[in-house]
A and B are shown apart, each in its own frame.
Chain A
Amino acid sequence: AQSVTQLGSHVSVSEGALVLLRCNYSSSVPPYLFWYVQYPNQGLQLLLKYTSAATLVKGINGFEAEFKKSETSFHLTKPSAHMSDAAEYFCAVSLEYGGSQGNLIFGKGTKLSVKP
């Protein structure tokens, strides 16, 4: 069975600092992994996805994530935080081997705060 663990329900960084949001997964088949962002009063927006191509995935807004099979991790990073990055971030794994995002297993989410 697939599962996702996000370490840290709340992460606070200073503007300009590195953002690191941690996600570990478990999956019995090669996983398809996703990061979503949810801004206040908005829906979930796809940041990036890993679908077994390049292990380093670049997403929108300067975010990227690296798939590390040996560590079963898919941590999200951004070199320099911006105030507008403050939001809740969700890591998710797809149940479907075919790569469709149909059935997603989500982590509990990490709320990112950015201090001026």
Chain B
Amino acid sequence: GAVVSQHPSRVICKSGTSVKIECRSLDFQATTMFWYRQFPKKSLMLMATSNEGSKATYEQGVEKDKFLINHASLTLSTLTVTSAHPEDSSFYICSAKIGNTIYFGEGSWLTVV
């Protein structure tokens, strides 16, 4: 089946720095990708919808200047957490849509120290 790959799976960064997480659809072209965030013991929360070649659509309460999403090609979307703070530490997971089916990546654990 279709595969979505995220990289890195785990990353530790210093407070104030920026970190980029990649989401790739390995064997299909995804016009739409989604970014989710999961806090400990909480639900996965949709952060933004990313459409290839256009600006991402952010959910209410998500800072677009802090969580930069770029979907430059049909197989790659990136999430950049800018000026990271410890409260940004979380599990981030992407998904890619083909037709009416969604495939999820493995997720990325971000720890900001």
A interface residues (Cβ-Cβ under 8 A, vs B)? 4, 9, 36, 41-46, 90, 99-109
Q: Find out whether the CB atom of B34 lies under 8 angstroms from the CB atom of A102.
A: yes
CA distance A103 to B46 in the complex (A): 7
Q: Find out whether the CB atom of B100 lies under 8 angstroms from the CB atom of A100.
A: yes
Q: Find out whether the CB atom of A43 lies under 8 angstroms from the CB atom of B102.
A: no
A36: chain B residues at CB < 8 Å are 104
Please give me the residue from chain B that is nearest to A98 by CB atom.
B100
Please give me the residue from chain B that is nearest to A32 by CB atom.
B100
- Chain B's interface: helix, strand, loop or mixed, by majority? strand
A103: chain B residues at CB < 8 Å are 34, 46, 49
Please give me the residue from chain A that is nearest to B109 by CB atom.
A41
Interface size class of B (residues with CB under 8 A): 20 to 34
Please give me the residue from chain A that is nearest to B100 by CB atom.
A100
Q: Find out whether the CB atom of A104 lies under 8 angstroms from the CB atom of B106.
A: no
CB-defined A-B contacts under 8 Å, sample of 15: A9-B41, A36-B104, A41-B9, A41-B106, A42-B106, A43-B103, A43-B104, A44-B93, A90-B44, A101-B102, A102-B97, A103-B49, A104-B102, A108-B42, A109-B44
Please give me the residue from chain B that is nearest to A9 by CB atom.
B41
In the complex, whether B54 has a CB less than 8 A from a CB of chain A is: no
Partner of A44, one of B32, B95, B97, B101: B95
Q: Find out whether the CB atom of B43 lies under 8 angstroms from the CB atom of A101.
A: no
A43: chain B residues at CB < 8 Å are 4, 6, 93, 103-107
Partner of B43, one of A42, A99, A102, A108: A108
CA distance A42 to B101 in the complex (A): 18
